[in-house]
Amino acid sequence: MKIVVAVKQVPDSAAKVSVENGEVSWGDAPLVINPWDEFAVEAALLLTEEHGGDVVAVSLGDEDSKEALKHALAMGCSEAILISDPSLQNADTQAVAHALAAAIQKVGDVDMAVFGKQAIDGDNAVTPVQVARVLGWPALTLTSKISELDADAKTLKVERSIEEGRQIVEGKLPAVMSVVKDFGEPRYPSFMGIRKASKAEIPVWSAADLGADVPAAVVSWPEMSNPQAREVSNEIIEGGSPEEIAATLADKIIEEGVV
Amino acid sequence: MANKVWVFVDQFKGEGHPASWEVVAAGRKLADEVGSGLTALVFGEGVEAVAQTAIHYGADEVLLADGAPLAEFRVEAYASQLAKLAQDDTPDVILFPTTTRARELAGMAAIDLNSGVLPDVIAMDLEGDTIVVTRPVYAGKLLAKSQCAAKPQLITLRARAFGKPEADESRSGEVKSVDVVVDEGTMATQVVDYATSDGQVSLTDASVIVSGGRGTSNRADLEPPADITDEKEQEIWRAQQGFLLIGELAEVLGAAVGASRAAVDAGYIPYTHQVGQTGKVVGPDLYIASGISGAIQHLAGMRTSKVIVAINKDPDAPIFKLARFGVVGDLYDIVPALTAAFKERLDK
């Protein structure tokens, strides 16, 4: 199987993100591979370990995004490609989807494109379905498990996590899949993997290289702000036995009118 | 003339998702502001009753696509149906609830309609015929004002951000049946089955959440059964006793059970319960955090809760800074006592 996994470089989830002078800042927190995408890389690697084949990691972003790709290579992906172009600077999810879909076509003979659930910066969670639509492939999103996969017949059966529980869906390859945490803990890059990744030459594809029309962004986000500081009057409830504390606390919660 | 404001009603097995009615009510308000009628979209099979409910919540008309290919939600089929209707009638805006289904539908339809999607929005302001939305990004660490220059503007509204809807059963409106445009032969997916969860309250819809963290395993004098000898398994067993107490409190309050990433990563409780930047982002009326210290990525996922209560042994735990009420103490003592106190007061 040939699998493409899409990864994004984002500020670490432990970062204190704020807006300073109109610019988004995450202080000295590191940029890392989007945590959801680590699950996607793991899922892609597990699939090729079972069914044979290769995993190609693709990222869209500036030069910095090579670090996310190197992480994917260190985990075990065999190839990495960066899509980078000044015209994609303010790309919205639709433009990103068209660019990623074009890259997947250019890689060629891809059986599956695997995504994380969402990126923890933009929190859009629509890129997997949008890429699927541009490609005309089925979208098997929020997959927690692949229960059957026949690489020759190009069919599969997956379990998806939805609000009401799990949904079992049969589909055909090629397909887009997004994965949730239940798929499996991402492996740590091996020492050999890290060495290999650090030496890897990562090709950069421009918009022209993609050979597809990437539409101009229609969604803009001209203004970012810090949420209002939470005004909380703290009240520590103390004194007496746990039963007395609990009684006071229950009364106060009821007074707030929230139960 | 066709209405400019549309809303999509998400239904599962013939029941409208509660967040859908919030969206119908928000759509009603928006339609009144722009001087338009409100059209609701209901897709499925045998879902006429859902269409009537949409009218009760404020729709003037319902476009009902009722047929076998739409019986189960498949995003590809629903997107084709929605795009066809929107291409014919060219609404300015389509609002959706931010359920997993409707969010993906909006995203996919944006491709068909050459437009854009604004997901998980918490506020809308009208500027001319453009809607400027506010949406949390970086799990709510920041807010973005955002807008879509193309039409229709596809916007998904976060549950519980737009007020409680009121149904008026005396309202009437027209239900128009539309042709199902989906050809089953072209579909690449089939829904085979469901394994629905056992009546647990879903985190994103819950008005009360009781959560547990690492602290659930902090009761050294709790003796695990003799057959659990592995130290890690003993720790998990202890944590599960803590989560049983949390579950009892949740049951009395009709609440959902949440957890910190630390608790999930340690194997105490399944991932579906995780609250935070890499779990679910929630904003209930009441959030009781027990044995959760308050890592920044957890706080990002629950900071908009109306009233936060923190129970933690460590008086310096960051969670206390967000808490309206705090108890410095052991959750093993406080949580069961709180369950008893609520049982008495809420008459359960």
Q: Please identify every stretch of chain B with a pLDDT value under 50, giving residue numbers as ranges.
A: none
For β-strands A219-225 and B142-148, DSSP reports them as antiparallel
pLDDT of residue A140: 97
Is the predicted pLDDT of residue A153 greater than 60, yes or no? yes
pLDDT tens for each residue of B10-44: 999 999 999 999 999 999 999 999 999 999 999 99
Yes or no: is domain B5-186 CATH 3.40.50.970? Answer: no
pLDDT tens for each residue of A203-247: 999 999 998 889 999 999 999 999 987 778 899 999 899 999 999
Asked if the Cβ–Cβ distance from B116 to A138 is below 8 Å, we say no
Is 0.85 exceeded by the ipTM? yes
In which residue ranges of chain B is CATH 3.40.50.620 found? 5-186
pLDDT tens for each residue of A155-214: 999 999 888 888 999 999 999 999 998 888 999 999 999 999 999 999 999 999 998 889
CA B292 to CA B319: how far, in whole Å? Answer: 7
Residues from chain A contacting residue B135 (CB–CB below 8 Å) = 123
Fold adopted by A2-210: Rossmann fold (3.40.50)
Closest to B108 (Cα-Cα) out of A4, A218, A127, A180: A127
Residue B335: closest C-alpha in chain A = A246
User: In this structure, what DSSP letter does residue B93 have?
Assistant: E
CA A116 to CA A178: how far, in whole Å? Answer: 5
Q: Assign domain B208-345 to its CATH superfamily.
A: TPP-binding domain (3.40.50.1220)
pLDDT of residue B199: 58
Give the pLDDT mean for A130-145: 97
pLDDT of residue A212: 85
Closest to A93 (Cα-Cα) out of B122, B137, B188, B101: B137
pLDDT of residue B205: 79
Average pLDDT, chain A: 95
Burial class (CB in 10 A: 0-12, 13-18, 19+), B219: middle
A88 falls in which pLDDT band (50, 70, 90)? very high
Structure tokens at B231: 């130290």
pLDDT of residue B156: 98
CA B234 to CA B228: how far, in whole Å? Answer: 6
pLDDT of residue B277: 86
pLDDT of residue A46: 97
Closest to B122 (Cα-Cα) out of A141, A258, A228: A228
Is the predicted pLDDT of residue A98 greater than 90, yes or no? yes
Picking from B144, B277, B328, the nearest residue to A236 by CB comes out as B328
pLDDT tens for each residue of B264-322: 999 999 888 999 988 888 989 999 999 999 999 899 999 989 999 999 999 999 999 99
Q: Where are the domains of chain A?
A: 2-210
Residue A182: closest C-alpha in chain B = B271
pLDDT of residue B200: 67
Residues from chain A contacting residue B317 (CB–CB below 8 Å) = none
Sequential DSSP letters for chain A = -EEEEEE-EEE-TT---EEETTEEE-TTPPEEE-HHHHHHHHHHHHHHHHH--EEEEEEESSGGGHHHHHHHHHHT-SEEEEE--GGGTT--HHHHHHHHHHHHHHH-S-SEEEEES--TTT----HHHHHHHHHT--EEEEEEEEEEEETTTTEEEEEEEETTEEEEEEEESSEEEEE-GGG-PPPPPPHHHHHHHHH----EE-HHHHTS-PPPP-EEEEEEEPPPPP----EE--SS-HHHHHHHHHHHHHHTT--
Residues from chain A contacting residue B301 (CB–CB below 8 Å) = none
pLDDT of residue A182: 83
In sequence order, which ranges of chain B are alpha helices (DSSP H)? 18-34, 48-56, 75-89, 100-112, 231-253, 261-265, 296-302, 319-322, 331-345
Closest to B128 (Cα-Cα) out of B107, B102, B147: B147
Asked if the Cβ–Cβ distance from B75 to A137 is below 8 Å, we say no
Asked if the Cβ–Cβ distance from B104 to A139 is below 8 Å, we say yes
